[in-house]
Chain A
Amino acid sequence: MVTPVAAESAPTSARRRRTRERIRAFGLPILALAMIVALWWLATVLFNIPTYLVPGPDLVVSKMIDLNSYLAEQTFVTTKETVLGFGLAILLGIPVAMSIARFRLLEQMLYPLLLAVNAVPKVAIAPILVVWMGFGLAPKIVMVVLLCFFPIVLATVAGLRSTPSELVELSQSLDAGEIKEFVKVRFPWALPQIFVGLKTAISLAVIGAVIAEFVGSSEGLGYVIVQSGASADTALAFAAITLLAIISIVLFYAIQLVERSLLPWAEENR
């Protein structure tokens, strides 16, 4: 009997390839960003655009530096609302998705309802939330949950439904019972798709927080944007928008990092 032997050189060359990929993954977006900023700056200078319409990147950066502690505070507020709402959406969404995936009756009852709720423009609800809950943290969190809930539920249901039939038969043939089957087979199998939902949801979460801040708030980056509009301080608005983009990107990559470390097998499998 011949025992197969793993090739010796494979791991090192794979590692080298991975480093190269990582440099590209970071380097190329940064390069693109630098080019866009340069174009932006060039345009403001060449076409002589008044700074109250489009401030150059230099003005935006100096605004960020001048107001750094204020902006840091507002960034923290918005991030907190986003993360709390997102977490709550996961805590609510995954059990709902589990029940929908498990019970046909619940699916038939809840799916049309979920679709209807999802179809309502959330901006329209924002003022009502202020009436109900005031200007505090609560309406922001609710708004974030409203936006995140649906993609999380949808992805989780799809993931839980995607267990290959041979794995289901295997666990049935072992007479494992539903709970063990869920814990050891169905749920781990669904995780890559759940993460797809989480990544969709996190961008929506930031948007939700900003919408809620627009309509009723005295802090957060959304509030900063509304204020800067009133005083025609476009540079401040651009600074706040830039910070919002950074929050989105950082949270997105944070989730991706968790995914990569939790599911090293998934990348090779899908």
Chain B
Amino acid sequence: MIEVIGVSQRFDTQRGEIHALDRIDLEVHENEFVTLVGRSGCGKSTLLRIISGLIRPTVGAVRVAGEQVARPRRDVSVMFQRPALLPWRNVRKNVLLPVEMLGLDKRQYTDRAQALIELAGLAGFEEKLPHELSGGMQQRVSLVRSLIQRPKVLLMDEPFSALDALTREEMSVELQRVVAEESTTIVFVTHSIDEAVLLADRVVVLSPRPGRLERIVDVPIPRPRTLGHNAHADQVSAISAELHDLLQPAPQVAT
């Protein structure tokens, strides 16, 4: 579904050139859930922006559904770290924003909006304004909004990292439940190993400066997955330990 082919990204800044990504090759299959982990500044957000078409890579190309990405696509949806809700729109109208922006027929999406709102545990809050909701609920609205147009690809950039630890766990368990009914290919950026292992079919590990693809780790644990006690605890801890080692800063080696 997503092919990242030899992508490198450099930024010209006042303090010189930043080499953000270096020759990234990655393929994400249809309906796969891939998490991107790496230390902060290793280019995770940049890679997501490139896949979404918000920025063009300096070198290389991205294909989604077989077509080269030159600009944001209608079937690719992005969810950000911050909820990015419009403060003057209530929950329902925020959810329907992509429908309006994409020029789709609103009547065809009102039922779906309601169903998703209920699925995300937001029933009864349809008429509330964002400031009346907690951070976790705002992010649920943001999730529902990013699913409304039935995107083929959902790109999520640390969507739960601004939430407190408990809300965060709850959200990641729920995310699986909500997207289980959608056929969506997901790339999910996180710097939490627990989150990465809980959610992913495969975990992509990036190394910093410049951002390189370090390793891809398979997570062959059956779904639905939960946190806490489960039958696959050994497997989970083995994978977590492997990721831990990969994410440790490499000892300084002269090259």
Contact = CB atoms under 8 A, between A and B. Distances in A.
Interface of A: 1-6, 164, 166-167, 169-176, 180, 184-185, 188-189, 263, 265-266, 268-269
A234 B101 CA distance: 62
A172 B131 CA distance: 24
A174 B155 CA distance: 13
A4 B76 CA distance: 30
A174 B52 CA distance: 10
A20 B22 CA distance: 62
10 pairs of A and B residues whose beta carbons are closest in the complex: A176-B101, A174-B101, A166-B84, A173-B78, A175-B72, A268-B131, A265-B88, A269-B87, A265-B87, A170-B84
27 contacts: A1-B121, A2-B121, A3-B123, A4-B121, A4-B134, A166-B82, A169-B78, A169-B80, A169-B84, A170-B78, A170-B84, A173-B72, A173-B77, A174-B72, A174-B97, A174-B98, A174-B101, A174-B102, A175-B74, A175-B101, A175-B102, A176-B102, A180-B100, A184-B97, A188-B86, A265-B129, A266-B88
B143 to A, nearest CB: 13
B137 A170 contact: no
A75 to B, nearest CB: 36
A185 B84 CA distance: 11
B215 interface: no
Interface in B108-140: 121, 123-125, 129, 131, 134, 137
B124 A5 contact: yes
Interface residues of B, number: 32
B29 interface: no
B174 interface: yes
Given A169-B78, A169-B80, A174-B101, 20 more contacts: A2-B121, A3-B123, A4-B121, A4-B134, A164-B84, A166-B82, A166-B84, A170-B78, A171-B101, A172-B72, A173-B54, A173-B78, A174-B72, A174-B74, A175-B71, A175-B74, A184-B97, A184-B100, A185-B86, A263-B88
Given A173-B78, A175-B71, A4 B54 contact: no
A170 B80 contact: yes
A173 B129 contact: no
Contacts of A166: 80-82, 84
Contacts of A1: 121, 174, 177
B98 A269 contact: no
B10 interface: no
Nearest to B129: A265
Question: For chain B, what secondary structure do more than half of its interface residues adopt (helix, strand, loop), or is it mixed?
Answer: loop
B209 interface: no
A223 B52 CA distance: 65
B73 interface: yes
Nearest to B174: A1
Given A4-B137, A166-B82, A180 B101 contact: yes
Interface string B167-183: 00000001001000000
A219 B212 CA distance: 77
B115 to A, nearest CB: 15
Nearest to A1: B121
Contacts of A266: 87-88
A69 B121 CA distance: 64
Interface string B90-106: 00000001101110000
Contacts of B100: 180, 184
Nearest to B140: A4
Interface in B41-98: 52-54, 71-74, 76-78, 80-82, 84, 86-88, 97-98
B134 to A, nearest CB: 8
A192 to B, nearest CB: 10
Nearest to B82: A166
Contacts of B76: 173
A189 B89 CA distance: 11
A184 B134 CA distance: 24
Nearest to B149: A174
Nearest to A166: B84
Contacts of B74: 174-175
B56 to A, nearest CB: 13
Contact of A3 (B77, B97, B124, B134): B124
A168 to B, nearest CB: 9
A189 B97 CA distance: 15
A225 to B, nearest CB: 43
B86 A167 contact: yes
